[in-house]
Amino acid sequence: MQTGENDQALRKILDMTRLISVVVLLLHFYKECYGAFVSWHLVSGITDRLLDNVVKTGLFNSFLKPKLVALVFLAIALMGVKAKKDEKQTVKTALVYLLAGLVFFLVSYFILLVKGKIEPVACGYVGVTGLGYLLMMSGGTMLSRIMSLPPLRLCQHHTARGWYPVPRNCPSPRGGGAALLPIPVPGPEHSVCQAGRRSALAPARRSS
């Protein structure tokens, strides 16, 4: 019961951390693209006062500071995510998503330097930055799924050489498997299955 309550509290904290990250990023968009929001009639006295109070904290003293703060809160939220296990995901794919997202997230600054109408420039900046944010979130989720994979399974081949590593589906050995090197059992937490008793005993009998 206590464990369930702790997991629920942790989940709420992670959700709040992710929400803080999104809110900081939205406030950054509102400040940097304020002219576009005015032309879209999406400003109000409440949002302006909220932005003024946040600016007084020093969060928006530089252009990159709020984006880095949002990135830090996103990383904290992803570190505690308990995602569903997926053996099809690879570390390489997750790193590609993370690096591509980081590039889009940071390089989008140069879009604001483009001379043109403020509305298309603001849409381009928000779109590219949001794309980078989503790519980093996807890459972090992939890493959490990879890190949640179970350890390598072992199958017991009844030979004098002991235990042998085999694929996860534990197929029956063919040809005796005499070329495999023995590996000791790391501990009881590894799942164990038995495969190929007769075919594994055959090479030991012939050698004797």
pTM above 0.75, yes or no: no
- If pLDDT is split at 50, 70 and 90, which confidence band does 135 have? very high
Is residue 93 pLDDT above 80, yes or no? Answer: yes
Is residue 7 pLDDT above 80, yes or no? Answer: no
Q: What percent of the chain has pLDDT over 70?
A: 65
Counted domains in the chain: 2
What's the whole-number mean pLDDT along residues 156-182? 47
Residue 116 and residue 23 share a domain: yes
The last residue of a domain, from among 131, 147, 163 = 147
Least confident of 11-15, 62-66, 133-137: 11-15
The last residue of a domain, from among 101, 118, 147 = 147
Residue 129 and residue 38 share a domain: yes
End-to-end CA distance of the chain: 57
**Own/partner pairs, 108-111, CB within 8 angstroms, 24+ separation:** 108/132, 109/63, 109/64
Residue 125 and residue 30 share a domain: yes
**Own/partner pairs, 47-52, CB within 8 angstroms, 24+ separation:** 51/27
Residue 162 and residue 79 share a domain: no
Supply the pLDDT for residue 84.
61
Range of the domain at 136: 2-147
Residue 176 and residue 75 share a domain: no
What's the whole-number mean pLDDT along residues 67-81? 90
Residue 117 and residue 188 share a domain: no
Residue 108 and residue 185 share a domain: no
User: The tokens 């042998």 sit on which residue?
Assistant: 164
